[in-house]
Chain A
């Protein structure tokens, strides 16, 4: 259970954590611990949201939620790393990975902290739309705090590489958009997470087109151009 000690250190004293990352102390063990602890916490929250539809959905979402956050992270990591390097950052790939995992781990622990609240509403209110909306807010708040950590962490780490700092902030902002882009497509591919009521349990729904084409077509429909 030593995996959680890194996570607790991260939560309590983020400055120390960033200092250790800057000096590259024990990066590999940080990576393993953060991967394992955040997967477990994401899985627990996934189980809670899946429980709305039934035990099978609980298990399926417990696997899908960590996969969603962590796979998106891994897909987008090289892009952030190479762009940062080219615009002056001196951080290694390992350091980038640890900071990103740190952000994901913070999101996972904050989600876990909301789990009793979500469970409570799961038990007392049987309304699918309300449950979805509640979770949109929870995911929004936790995501926002995780992203704040990412910004502060990367800025603190590259404090001495002042050359190109403004460009790298822009890169980070664009990268966040890329992360959201890849993440929403992966979320759409992996659906369902909640399990709409009255629909039988399915591991994956049919891949009807993709998220963005659907959105564009909806917009065109609304504008009457279809």
Chain B
């Protein structure tokens, strides 16, 4: 159960955790622990959304939801690593993986925090379209927070400034600020030299976030069903037709015109 200790450390002091990753402190432990704890939380939430249809769907979704997030991550990781390395990043692939897993763990914890709410609506409202839309809102909100967080921790500036970054960015204590300011000025000078590369890497990060969302939605559609439409027999995977975005629009329309 030590896996959850790492997760709790992450939750309580995220800046410190990210600092440790930048310094490669105990990377392997972090990666394993985050992988396992986020999978468990995602599996629990997957089980709940699968419970809408049948017990078989519970197991299927409990496996598919972690798979969705983690496979998308693995598919997109090389792109991020090689592009960044090409434009000057000094982070190893392990560090990249750890940072991405941090963001996924945050999403997993937030999804888990919504589990009682989803369970409640599962029991009291037996309407498939409503349940789908509720989950679209929950997944969007948690995904958005996870991705904003990822953007913050993976920005090239945060990697370059190093140990002083925490105190200079927060800038709350007077005397610390003076020391950090001097450090920051010297860093800023060297930053200016590599400024175009910095901008490129920020753009790469943004592009990669879009890629991640794109791959993720398509993988979600391929792995469906997660919910299990009522009246349809349990299938491990549905035949490939249509796409994710059309389906969401159709759900909305059905709710409004039913």
A-side residues, CB < 8 A to B, are 74-79, 81-83, 85-86, 90, 162-163, 178, 182, 185-186, 189, 207, 209-210, 212-213, 216-217, 220, 225
SS of B interface (majority): helix
Q: Is the CB of A220 within 8 A of B256?
A: yes
Contact present for B124 and A185 (CB under 8 Å): yes
Q: Is B12 an interface residue (CB 8 A)?
A: yes
State whether A85 touches B130 (Cβ < 8 A): no
Please give the distance in Å from B257's CB to the nearest CB on chain A.
8
Contacts A185-B124, A210-B125, A213-B127 known; A82 to B109 CB distance under 8 Å?
Answer: yes
Across the interface, name the chain B residue whose C-beta is closest to A85. Answer: B11
The answer, yes or no, to whether B205 is at the interface (CB within 8 Å) is: no
CB-CB under 8 A from A81, the residues of chain B are 113
User: Measured between C-beta atoms, what is the minimum distance from B72 to chain A in Å?
Assistant: 21
Nearest Cβ on chain B to A129's Cβ, whole angstroms: 27
Identify the 5 closest CB pairs spanning chains A and B, nearest first. A82-B113, A210-B125, A75-B116, A79-B113, A189-B124
Instruction: Please state if B113 and A78 are interface contacts (CB–CB under 8 Å).
Output: yes
A-B contact pairs, 15 of them (CB 8 A): A75-B117, A77-B116, A78-B115, A82-B11, A82-B113, A83-B110, A86-B14, A86-B106, A86-B109, A86-B110, A186-B124, A210-B130, A212-B130, A213-B127, A216-B256
Contacts A78-B116, A83-B113, A178-B117 known; 5 new A-B pairs at CB < 8 A: A77-B116, A82-B11, A86-B11, A185-B124, A186-B120
The answer to whether B117 and A182 touch across the interface, beta carbons within 8 angstroms, is yes
Q: Is B77 an interface residue (CB 8 A)?
A: no
B241 at the interface (CB under 8 A from A): no
- Nearest CB of A to B254, in Å: 11
For the complex, what is the distance from the CA of A115 to the CA of B109, rounded to whole Å? 42
Decide yes or no whether B175 CB sits under 8 A from chain A: no
Q: Are A76 and B256 in contact (CB under 8 A)?
A: no
Cβ of B112 under 8 Å from chain A = yes
Q: Which residues of B (98-141) have their CB < 8 Å from a CB of A?
A: 106, 109-110, 112-117, 119-121, 124-127, 130
Kindly provide the distance from the CB of A13 to the nearest chain B CB, expressed in whole angstroms.
Answer: 31
Per the 8 Å Cβ criterion, residues 157-173 of B in contact with A are: 170, 172
Whether a CB of chain A sits under 8 angstroms from the CB of B85 is no
